[in-house]
């Protein structure tokens, strides 16, 4: 579904990610993991259209989308729940969801919102609250929900569990599994590797802008060198 | 009695300030630019208003024409003058904006002459008595209730429509708004259209009340509106509205009690300086 080929991105002359090869097959959960500063967020934001693609290509549904503006990429079916969540803080929960679904006709809103609320029932109790007044976990749910309102084919989630209470992390991961059952393709960035390895089908380990390992999550779990070098930290 | 009258006069002046300053706030909130040239649309509104009114004899037609022309002009300025230099440091658009304002003033002078235009018909000059002791020109009441109505409708549109919510989202996080398909250019067009049209409405009303349109009529409102949006806590719409009304009232009391040694504009800026010494972030800045 999404394929990055010899993908390099960065800021001005600075390359945050070099020569990355990444394949996110349809209907899977792919984990992109690695230490702070490895280039995970840059990769997602580049796929979303906000960070410069310096070389290589971004192929989505067999089309090279590297030259499209961000507004067009969401229409093609890529939505993001970015690092730091970046909700529209002075809008209500419901209006955040409304913005998520703006590319679709207004008539779709209720049904799409109800789908998101079935994944995250807690949001249903807070529809009128300002996004700024939600707890961290609720904000993450809203960020994912807002992205889902675009009815994407691929959802990219950055640092899902960062700063959340364990119980909230559980709820979010449950939702991911349900999304996968419903046919969603998920690209998940985490520093919390244990969690990713337990749900992902594939993982790619990024360090200093380079992929140092990629393959099946099951193999990653059983690879002793990998565990010692990158995953044992957690 | 005097107090009530002063407050009423202050609110009349304050609603004119609010109409002008709102456009500045909208632009600042969206683009982080101090849109000094905004006051040119106040003047443009005055000129379109007087020309159309004198041709047609209809003030309503004059107001509508002025708002539409200024609104479209706002879009042109956004697209041609600001959008190409948005990625530059903030002083670049600021200087462009000051240059644009000066150019606009000269353009009005060249096109309409230096001495100003007057209305052929006496619009809204009748007097109305309220509560038995307050006397207003009809035009003054039209300013107050007209601006309240327009601003009320706009705020409903902003919170109740998809486009309004999209505009709010864009102000809150432009990049994420784009990631949900919102075009920053389109939101810019809307903000510039609305802001410029409001300034034009103010321009028509002020020119009707004074029966005079001059090339320089925008310069005092221009810097006063800047003061108001600073006072209101840059980018806050509600803060701007309150600050505009407060400044109107302060000026109206000030001219009575301090008028013999400070003129109206000096009072306004003395007040601004005092407030900023006490609250540098403005009266209503969010924490
Ligand atoms: N806006 C930016 N401008 C310049 N450099 C940046 C920017 N954002 C991130 N970087 C740099 O890019 C590299 C990768 O960062 P990032 O993608 O945020 O890593 P991760 O998400 O894996 O922690 C880091 O060296 C970081 O300093
Ligand atoms: Mg990151």
Residue A227: per-residue pLDDT: 65
Distance CA A155, CA A100 (A): 12
HSE of A13, CA atoms in CB hemisphere, 13 A: 0
For residue range A52-111, list pLDDT tens digits in order. 999 999 999 999 999 999 999 999 999 999 999 999 999 999 999 999 999 999 999 999
Share of chain B above pLDDT 70, in %: 99
Distance CA B212, CA B115 (A): 10
Residue B268: per-residue pLDDT: 87
A210-216 and A202-207 beta bridge pairing: antiparallel
Residue A231: per-residue pLDDT: 55
A63-64 and A14-24 beta bridge pairing: unpaired
In this structure, what are the phi and psi dihedrals at residue A18, rounded to the nearest 5 degrees? -125, 135
Mean pLDDT of B169-191: 96
Q: Which residues contact B73 (CB under 8 A, 6 or more apart)?
A: B41, B44, B196
Q: Whose CA is nearest to atom 6 of ligand 1?
A: A11
Share of chain A above pLDDT 70, in %: 97
Among the residue ranges A4-13, A34-43, B262-271, B276-285, the one predicted with the least confidence is: B276-285
Interface check B183 vs A, CB under 8 A = yes
> Token pair of A12, please?
């001005």
Q: What are the strands of the beta sheet with A29-33, ordered from one edge?
A: A78-81, A154-158, A185-190, A29-33, A202-207, A210-216
For residue range B192-224, list pLDDT tens digits in order. 999 999 999 999 999 999 999 999 999 999 889
Dihedral Cα B96, B98, B101, B105, nearest 10 deg: -120
User: How many interchain CB pairs under 8 A, A with B?
Assistant: 65
Q: How far is the CA of A222 from the centre of ligand 2 (A)?
A: 26
A160 alpha carbon, closest ligand: 2
Distance from CA of A21 to the nearest CA of B (A): 24
Residue A230: per-residue pLDDT: 63
Distance CA A116, CA A124 (A): 9
Q: What is the DSSP string of B3-44?
A: HHHHHHHHHHHHHHHHHHHHHHHHHHHHH----GGGHHHHHH
Q: Where residue B269 falls among pLDDT bands split at 50, 70, 90?
A: confident
ipTM of the complex: 0.93
A47 alpha carbon, closest ligand: 1
Q: Whose CA is nearest to atom 18 of ligand 1?
A: A41
Q: How far is the CA of A70 from the centre of ligand 1 (A)?
A: 19
For residue range A180-210, list pLDDT tens digits in order. 999 999 999 998 788 898 899 999 999 999 9
Distance from CA of A12 to the nearest CA of B (A): 14
For residue B22, count other CB atoms closer than 10 A to its CB.
28
Domains (ranges, CATH) in chain A? 2-91+154-231 (3.40.50.300)
Q: Is the pLDDT of residue B162 over 80?
A: yes
Q: Whose CA is nearest to atom 12 of ligand 1?
A: A16
> Token pair of B100, please?
């644009």
A14-24 and B134-137 beta bridge pairing: unpaired
Q: Whose CA is nearest to atom 27 of ligand 1?
A: A37
Q: Do A88 and B183 touch (CB under 8 A)?
A: no
Indicate the class that CATH gives domain B2-278. mainly alpha
Distance CA B214, CA B221 (A): 13
CA A158 to mean position of chain CA atoms: 5
| Range 133-172 of B in CB contact (< 8 A) with A | 162, 165-166, 168-169, 172
> Token pair of B56, please?
């047609």
Burial class (CB in 10 A: 0-12, 13-18, 19+), A106: exposed
Q: Is the pLDDT of residue A232 over 60?
A: no
Q: Do B162 and A80 touch (CB under 8 A)?
A: no
Q: Where residue A228 falls among pLDDT bands split at 50, 70, 90?
A: low
pTM of the model: 0.91
Task: Find the CB nearest A99 among B165, B175, B183.
Answer: B165
Q: Is the pLDDT of residue B56 over 50?
A: yes
Interface check B175 vs A, CB under 8 A = yes
HSE of B173, CA atoms in CB hemisphere, 13 A: 19
Q: Determine contact, residues B61/B121, Cβ cutoff 8 Å.
A: no
Q: Is the pLDDT of residue B1 over 80?
A: no
Q: Is the pLDDT of residue B287 over 50?
A: no
Q: Where residue A234 falls among pLDDT bands split at 50, 70, 90?
A: very low
> Token pair of A198, please?
């337990």
The neighbouring-strand residues paired with B63 are none
Q: What is the DSSP letter of B78?
A: I
Share of chain B above pLDDT 90, in %: 72
Mean pLDDT of B16-44: 94
Q: Where are the beta strands (DSSP E) in chain A?
A: 2-11, 14-24, 29-33, 52-60, 63-64, 78-81, 154-158, 185-190, 202-207, 210-216
Helices (H), B57-183: 59-77, 91-112, 138-160, 162-172, 174-179
pLDDT: is A225 or B23 the higher one?
Answer: B23
Distance CA B177, CA A192 (A): 28
Q: How far, in Å, are A45, A66, A99, A153, B75 from residue B185 at the CA level?
A: 21, 21, 17, 26, 10
Distance CA B22, CA B152 (A): 13
Residue A35 CB less than 6 A away from ligand 1: no
Residue B187: per-residue pLDDT: 96
The helix (H) or strand (E) run that includes residue B122 is: none
Q: Determine contact, residues A9/A59, Cβ cutoff 8 Å.
A: no
Q: Where are the domains of chain B?
A: 2-278
Coil/strand/helix, residue B241: helix
Distance CA A160, CA A157 (A): 6
> Token pair 């992390």 is at which residue?
A169
A78-81 and A154-158 beta bridge pairing: parallel
């Amino acid at each position: 579904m999404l394929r990055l080929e010899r993908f390099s991105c960065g800021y001005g002359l600075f390359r945050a990610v070099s020569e990355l090869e990444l394949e996110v097959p349809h209907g899977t959960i792919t984990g992109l993991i690695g230490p702070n500063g490895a280039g995970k967020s840059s990769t997602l934001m580049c796929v979303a259209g906000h960070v410069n693609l310096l070389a290589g290509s971004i192929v989505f549904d067999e089309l090279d989308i590297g030259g499209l503006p961000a507004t067009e990429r969401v229409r093609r079916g890529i939505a993001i729940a970015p690092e730091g969540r970046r909700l529209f803080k002075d809008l209500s929960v419901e209006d955040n969801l409304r913005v998520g679904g703006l590319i679709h006709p207004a008539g779709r809103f209720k049904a799409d919102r109800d789908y998101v609320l079935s994944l995250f029932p807690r949001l249903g109790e807070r529809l009128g609250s300002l996004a700024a007044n939600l707890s961290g976990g609720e904000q993450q749910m809203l960020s994912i929900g807002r992205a889902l309102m675009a009815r994407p084919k691929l959802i990219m989630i950055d640092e899902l569990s960062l700063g959340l209470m364990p119980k909230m992390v559980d709820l979010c991961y449950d939702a991911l599994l349900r999304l996968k059952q419903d046919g969603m393709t998920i690209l998940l960035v985490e520093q919390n590797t244990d969690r990713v390895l337990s749900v992902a089908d594939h993982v790619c380990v990024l360090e200093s802008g380079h992929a140092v390992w990629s393959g099946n999550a099951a193999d990653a779990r059983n690879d002793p060198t990998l565990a010692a070098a990158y995953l044992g930290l957690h | 009695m005097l107090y009530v009258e002063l407050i009423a006069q202050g609110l009349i002046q304050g609603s004119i300030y609010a109409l002008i300053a709102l456009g500045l706030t909208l632009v600042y909130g969206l683009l982080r630019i101090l849109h000094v040239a905004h006051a040119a649309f106040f003047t443009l509104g005055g000129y379109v208003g007087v020309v159309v009114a004198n041709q047609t004899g209809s003030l309503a037609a004059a107001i509508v024409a002025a708002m539409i022309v200024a609104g479209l002009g706002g879009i042109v300025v956004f697209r041609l003058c600001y959008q190409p230099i948005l990625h530059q440091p903030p002083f670049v658009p600021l200087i462009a904006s000051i240059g644009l304002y000066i150019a606009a003033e000269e353009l009005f002078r060249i096109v309409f002459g230096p001495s100003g235009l007057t209305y052929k018909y006496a619009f809204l000059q009748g007097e109305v008595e309220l509560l038995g002791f307050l006397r207003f020109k009809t035009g003054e009441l039209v300013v107050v209730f007209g601006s309240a109505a327009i601003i009320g409708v706009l705020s409903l549109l902003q919170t109740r429509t998809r486009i309004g919510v999209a505009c709010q989202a864009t102000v809150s996080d432009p990049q994420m708004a784009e990631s949900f398909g919102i075009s920053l250019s389109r939101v810019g067009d809307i903000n510039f259209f609305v802001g410029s049209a409001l300034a034009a409405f103010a321009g028509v009303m002020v020119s009707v009340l004074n029966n005079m349109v001059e090339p320089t009529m925008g310069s005092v409102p221009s810097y006063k509106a800047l003061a108001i949006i600073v006072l209101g806590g840059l980018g806050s719409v509600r803060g701007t509205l309150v600050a505009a009304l407060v400044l109107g009232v302060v000026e109206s009391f000030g001219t009575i009690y301090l008028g013999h040694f400070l003129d109206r504009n000096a009072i306004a800026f003395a007040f601004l300086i005092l407030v900023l010494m006490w609250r540098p972030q403005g009266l209503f800045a969010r924490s």
